[in-house]
Amino acid sequence: MKKILLLLILFIPFNIHAIETSAESAILMDMDSNRILYAKNINKQRSVASISKIMTAYLAVESEKLDKLVKVGSEIDNSYGSGIYIKKGEVLTIRDLLYGLMLRSGNDASYAIAHNVAGSVDNFVSLMNKKASELNLKNTTFNNPNGLDEDKGNYSTAYDMAILMSNAMKNKDFKEIVKCKKYNLKTNMNTYIWHNKNKLLNMYKYATGGKTGYTKIAKRTLVNTASKDNLNLVAVTLNDGNDFKDHMNLFEYGFNNYKSYKILNSGVIDIIEDNYYKKFDFYIKHDFTYPLSNDELDLILIKFNLEKKRKPKSNMKVGYVSIYLGDLLIHKEELYIIKKQTKKFKLKNFIKDTFK
């Protein structure tokens, strides 16, 4: 038997203003909830150029080989276009290569990373597509680790790239690399000083990382993240000749008109109306935050869906909490029970406390 209990929460609305970009495709999304705050042709598939390297870096940081010393080999022979100009026989770590990949968009670095993480470039591309499938990036196909169109190119959408970046930013090593403005490196062959091509890191104080891209087919592509007051946003633009300004405007639009609310707190949660689980406390395992604006004029609806278990015991799942924005289900969280803790009466402590 299921029992449904309701709770209403009132939020104060904010003023909001319309915004537009010059991009062919664009998205502004909250990275914590994946809520889309601005959308323009977000599922239109096209060449994405060097923002493909977000996937290359993501796989590399997850490989747990970041501090492995590698010797550059013939895998870089076919590299052309933007590079960090490493040489065969040069020794450096995969972490070093990642800074060259993400700060300077080194195509040679992408081949060296692919070879040393997966054994070959072809194996690495297979891993890229496997990861895309795991992340449910339905409109994304990778043919190389760098985004060059002459190698068949990599194709994706603004939406898929926003999802990819949101997941990658959960990795602390990835996050550290993409926010770096300058990297110094000395190898057995050379000394490097790499400055980040992503100008937004210097133009916008809330920027936390990103990746630039350009090919003749893709035109200018750009991914950036920014954080302010616990609101963590990602912006993606494809074929945008005014991309840095558009990204700043998108972020300002988000920060000025949305606020992140913590709707659920992990831990014990009260359901006053319940009389079945009197000997238990309810609890949830995760927080839930969500950005809200005056599009949500007044109400968020919380539903508690309970199942009456015949033999309830601690840590048993007994239902779930559903969060609605109007008629739209925006989140579902599993609900558990735990035996209430009751303090045993001890005469010794009673006397001590009473006659202290």
Q: Is 158 exposed, middle or buried (0-12, 13-18, 19+ CB in 10 A)?
A: buried
Distance between CA atoms of residues 2 and 268, nearest Å: 21
128 contacts 145 by C-beta, under 8 angstroms? yes
Helices and strands, number each (H, E), in the chain: 9, 19
Q: For the CA atoms of 240, 29, 144, 183, what is the dihedral angle to 10 degrees?
A: 80
Q: Largest alpha-carbon pair distance within the chain?
A: 86
30 contacts 232 by C-beta, under 8 angstroms? yes
51 contacts 161 by C-beta, under 8 angstroms? yes
Cα 206 to the center of its chain, rounded Å? 16
Active site residues: 50, 53, 105
Which helix (H) or strand (E) covers residue 102, if one does? helix 94-104
Q: Enumerate the β-bridge partners of residue 194.
A: 183
φ and ψ at 12, to 5 degrees? -80, 130
Distance between CA atoms of residues 80 and 97, nearest Å: 16
* E strand residue ranges, 77-121: 91-93
Distance between CA atoms of residues 330 and 296, nearest Å: 13
55 contacts 71 by C-beta, under 8 angstroms? no
CA neighbor of 303 nearest in space, from 10, 35, 9, 1: 9
